[in-house]
Amino acid sequence: MNFHIMTLFPDMVMNTLDTSILARAMNNGLIACEAVNIRDYTLRKNNRVDDYTYGGGAGMLMQAQPVYDCWKSIQDRLPKKSRVVFLTPQGRVFNQKIAEDLSKEDDLILLCGHYEGIDERVLDEIVTDNISIGDYVLTGGELPAIILVDAISRFVPGVLGNESSASTDSFQDGLLEYPQYSRPEVWHDKRVPEILMSGDHAKVDAWRLEQSIERTRERRPDLYKSFLAK
């Protein structure tokens, strides 16, 4: 899968992505990530990409022309029209289901805004999906883009190594993940639950489901309500 990230801060994006599991996935050819600098496509002096908003108001707005030309430089290299995700607090809130859906794309273009936003005309022309990572405002779309790449990549075969990992993640079945334990058996006078050392896989699975349901009920009653409604 290929991620094409349109940004004013390509180093910020790539320095974060080029670590840990994602770096290994890129080295193994399972995913590819590029950060394309929107400033490279401006026609103005001093690499300016922003200007005042019509109608007044605080802050500056990213102009349509450099954003469009940056997008076109990416799209022209791709075999087919690709989905363009604009990271914005006005979008639908990102979740595991959306991540799984987006992971089915061969190419995905992520657009990072900055300043007070982006000229609406170019958004209308190129954006297919508006996505938010939560009901709060950040200084730019770079961190949300990195989050999307990480979450989506987990569904790409081979990225996690253990193919069952993604299927047991929190939210994958509408529940939070069950508690997990490692060695030693006793730590700070707390013991690993006996059931996990029983060797009875059926009982372990039943215990984990029970714990997931209870944890969801306590910590995320909204998810618990949706789970009961299924």
Q: Which of 101, 116, 177, 214 is catalytic?
A: 116
Catalytic, 125? Answer no
Q: Which of 10, 66, 89, 144 is catalytic?
A: 89
Q: Which of 34, 101, 105, 169 is catalytic?
A: 169
**Full-prediction pTM beyond 0.85?**
yes
Give the C-alpha distances (Å, rounded to integers) separating 82 from 85, 99, 106, 126, 175.
10, 16, 8, 10, 31
Residue 187's H or E segment, with its range, is: strand 186-187
Query: Is CATH 3.40.1280.10 correct for 2-153?
Result: yes
Catalytic, 24? Answer no
Residue type, 148: L
**Bridge partner residues of 86 (DSSP):** 111, 130
Looking at residue 131, the DSSP 8-state letter turns out to be: E
Catalytic, 116? Answer yes
Catalytic, 154? Answer yes
Q: Is 124 left (phi over 0), alpha (psi -120 to 50) or beta?
A: alpha
CB 176 within 8 A of CB 216: yes
Question: Under CATH, which number does the domain 170-229 receive?
Answer: 1.10.1270.20
Ordered per-residue pLDDT tens for the chain, 230 residues = 999 999 999 999 999 999 999 999 999 999 999 999 999 999 998 899 999 999 988 889 999 999 999 999 999 999 999 999 999 999 999 999 999 999 999 999 999 999 889 999 999 999 999 999 999 999 999 999 999 999 999 999 999 976 655 655 557 688 999 999 999 999 999 999 999 999 999 999 999 999 999 999 999 999 999 999 98
Cis amide prior to 89 (ω within 30 degrees): no
- 226 token code pair: 């949706």
Domain limits, the chain:
2-153, 170-229
Q: Which of 50, 66, 107, 154 is catalytic?
A: 154
